[in-house]
Chain A
Amino acid sequence: MDLNAWKAQLRKRAAKLAVLALLHRDEMYGVQLLERLQAEGGLEISDGSIYPLLRRLQKDGKFRGRWVEEEEATHPRRYYSLTNAGRQMLLAMRAEWTAFEASMRRLLREEPVRATR
C-alpha cells in the first residue's frame, strides 16, 4: 500500500473539519488557511484543494466570503467566516470526529490477542 497516498487522502478528508475549526476562531483568507494547516503539523493540503473547498462551502451556505483591501497588501484578499449553518455543521462534525477518534484510539491500543512468532 502506498502510505503517502493514504496520508494525503486522510488529510484531504479531514480538511473540511480543519478549515471549519480554524474559521471558527477567526476570519481568514486562502493562503492564511494553507499556512495555518501547515503550521499545525501534518494537516497541510495542496494549494489546489483549498479554493474549491472554500467556494463549495460558501455555495452551500456554511461560509461567507468578502473582499478586503488592506494597507499592507498589494491585492484584495478574500476573507472567509462561518455562517450559523457553518457553526452548526462544525459542532455536528466535531462530535462525530471525537467519537470516531476515541474508538480508533481504543482499537489501536489493544494488545494483540496472540503473539505471532
Chain B
Amino acid sequence: MRHAEAESSPTLEAYLHRLAAALGALPAEERADILLEIRSHVAEQRHRFPSLSVHEVLEHLGAPDKYAETFLADWRAVTSMAQRPSATAGLATLVTGGARALPALAVLALLYSVVAALLLVVVTEWIDPHATGLFIDTHAEMRIAQCD
C-alpha cells in the first residue's frame, strides 16, 4: 500500500498491532486494507470530534481481539459459501463442469474399469480356477491334453 501513515499514536499502533495479529488468518492484502481503513476511521472521527481521544474512538470499535473476530466470522461465512464446495457439490461440478472436467472424468472412468476387471478376474478365478487366467482361455486344458 503506497499511502503514508495517516494517523499515528502509540495507542493506535498498539491497537493495530493486536488487531493485525488477531487477523492472522486473513490474506495479507485483506488484512492490510482493514488496518488502513481503521487508521482512516480514527483520523476521520478525530477530525469530526476533536474532543475525542484516540483511545475513545478505538473503544467504540471494540477490543481488538473481539473486533477481529467479527471480520473473521464474516470472512468465513462468505468464503465457505463461495469457495468451499462440499463433496457432493464438487462431484456435481465435475459432472456438469463441461470441457474442463472431461479429462478428470476420463481418468476416473479408466480407474473404475481397471478395478472392475480385476474384481472380475478374482471372482472367476475363485469360481473356476482352471478356466481362468489374466487372459481368459477356455480351451487351454484341451490344448495341454493334445500336447501330451
Chain B: residues with Cβ within 8 Å of the partner, total of 31
Q: From A56, which residue of chain B is reached at the shortest CB distance?
A: B74
- CB within 8 Å for A51 and B3 given contacts A46-B60, A60-B78: no
> Does B21 sit within 8 A of A, measured CB to CB?
no
Interface segment, B30-38, B88-96, B103-111, B136-144? B30-38
Please report whether the interface of chain B is mostly helix, strand, loop or mixed according to DSSP: helix
Q: Is the CB of A78 within 8 A of B82?
A: no
- CB within 8 Å for A48 and B60 given contacts A31-B45, A75-B6, A77-B40: yes
Q: Give the complex CA separation of A56 and B82 in angstroms.
A: 12
Q: Is the CB of B39 within 8 A of A75?
A: yes
Q: Is the CB of B6 within 8 A of A76?
A: yes
Most buried by A among B36, B41, B45, B47: B41
B3: chain A residues within 8 A (beta carbon): 67, 69, 75-76
B75: chain A residues within 8 A (beta carbon): 55-56, 59
Interface positions, chain A 30-57, Cβ under 8 Å from B, are 30-31, 46-49, 51-53, 55-56
Q: How far is the CB of B37 from chain A (nearest CB, A)?
A: 5
Q: From B38, which residue of chain A is reached at the shortest CB distance?
A: A51
Q: Which 3 pairs across A and B sit closest by C-beta, in order of nearness? A: A75-B6, A56-B74, A47-B60
